[in-house]
C-alpha cells in the first residue's frame, strides 16, 4: 500500500515541468510535491538518447532516494528516451511512475475530428518516435505530422521576453503544421504551454492544443486512489524544489510558470 503522507516526486530538465505541477497543485491540493528542476543540465531536448537515459536515471534516483510515493516524469524528452528504464527503477523501489507522452496521445486521438494530428516537440523527442508509437497504438488511423523545435524550449526557459524574433521562430515551426491541415496539436514539451497563445493565433482557433498538465493530474489521482495513497484530512499540502542550476534564476522564471510563489521553497543541489 502506498504511504499517503509521502510527497509526489516530479522532475523536469528545468522550469517547463512547472506547467504540469501547476495543474497537479490545483487538482490535488492536499498532496505534497517535491519537484527537481535539472536546470544545471538544460536543455535535454538536444542531448543524445544515451545521455538522456544516464541523466534521467540519476535524477530519478535522487528523488526515489529522498522518499516519494510516486514519480512523475514531467519532461517529454526524458520520457521518450528513458521512460522504460525509470519505470524499472520505480518498480524496484515500489514506486509507481507516471509519464507525459501516453496521456497526451490518448487525448489527441480522442478529440481529433479529421484524424490529422500534429506534434511539436524537441529534436530528441521527435527522433525517439515516442509520440508516433503512442498514437499508432491507439487503434485509430491517424495522419501524424511531427515538427522538431530545437530553439523553442531554450527561448522560453530564458525568461519572459517574447519579441518579434520569438514570433518569427514560432511562426516557422507552425508553417508545416498549417500545411498539413492538422486539427489537433500535441505540445510535446512542458515548456510550450507558455507560448500557447502564440501557437493558437498562428494555427487558428479551430486547432485544439493538447498539453500534459490535466492528463497527468488525472493519471496521478487514478493511480493513488487505486493504491490507497491519496492524502486526506487537509486542505493544502506543501510544495518544494530541488535545483541543480542557479536557484535565483529558477525561482524568478519558475514563478511565472507555476503562478504561485517559489521564494523560500527552493534548495540548490549537486547530482
Active site residues: 75, 189
How far apart CA 242 and CA 38 sit, in angstroms, is 8
Cβ atoms of 140 and 115 closer than 8 Å: yes
Report residue 125 CA to chain centroid gap: 12
* Closest by Cα among 91, 94, 98 to 74: 98
- Bridging pattern class, strands 266-268 and 239-243: parallel
* Closest by Cα among 216, 68, 71, 48 to 122: 48
**How are strands ordered across the β-sheet holding 70-73?**
97-99, 70-73, 8-12, 33-37, 239-243, 266-268
Q: How deeply is 163 buried, as exposed, middle or buried, from its count of CB atoms within 10 A (0-12, 13-18, 19+)?
A: exposed
**Grid cell 516530479 — which residue?**
10
- Bridging pattern class, strands 97-99 and 70-73: parallel
How far apart CA 205 and CA 25 sit, in angstroms, is 28
**Total residue length of the chain:** 271
Amino acid at each position: 500500500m502506498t504511504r499517503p503522507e509521502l510527497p509526489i516526486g516530479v522532475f523536469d530538465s528545468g522550469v517547463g515541468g512547472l506547467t504540469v505541477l501547476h495543474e497537479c497543485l490545483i487538482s490535488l491540493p492536499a498532496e505534497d510535491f517535491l519537484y527537481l528542476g535539472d536546470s544545471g543540465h538544460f536543455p535535454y531536448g538536444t542531448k543524445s538518447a544515451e545521455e538522456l537515459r544516464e541523466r534521467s536515471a540519476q535524477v530519478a534516483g535522487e528523488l526515489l532516494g529522498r522518499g516519494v510515493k510516486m514519480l512523475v516524469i514531467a519532461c517529454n524528452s526524458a520520457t521518450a528516451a528513458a521512460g522504460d528504464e525509470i519505470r524499472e527503477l520505480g518498480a524496484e523501489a515500489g514506486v509507481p511512475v507516471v509519464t507525459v507522452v501516453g496521456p497526451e496521445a490518448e487525448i489527441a486521438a480522442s478529440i481529433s475530428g479529421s484524424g490529422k494530428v500534429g506534434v511539436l516537440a524537441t529534436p530528441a523527442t521527435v527522433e525517439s518516435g515516442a509520440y508516433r508509437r503512442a498514437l499508432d497504438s491507439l487503434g485509430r488511423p491517424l495522419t501524424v505530422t511531427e515538427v522538431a523545435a530545437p530553439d523553442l524550449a531554450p527561448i522560453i526557459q530564458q525568461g519572459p521576453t517574447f519579441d518579434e524574433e520569438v514570433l518569427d521562430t514560432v511562426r516557422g515551426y507552425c508553417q508545416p503544421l498549417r500545411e498539413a491541415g492538422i486539427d489537433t496539436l500535441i505540445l510535446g514539451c512542458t515548456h510550450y504551454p507558455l507560448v500557447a497563445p502564440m501557437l493558437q493565433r498562428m494555427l487558428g482557433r479551430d486547432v485544439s492544443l493538447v498539453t500534459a498538465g490535466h492528463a497527468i493530474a488525472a493519471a496521478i489521482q487514478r493511480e493513488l486512489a487505486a493504491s490507497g495513497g491519496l492524502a486526506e484530512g487537509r486542505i493544502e499540502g506543501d510544495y518544494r524544489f530541488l535545483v541543480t542550476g542557479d536557484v535565483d534564476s529558477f525561482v524568478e522564471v519558475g514563478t511565472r510558470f507555476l503562478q504561485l510563489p517559489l521564494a523560500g521553497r527552493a534548495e540548490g543541489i549537486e547530482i
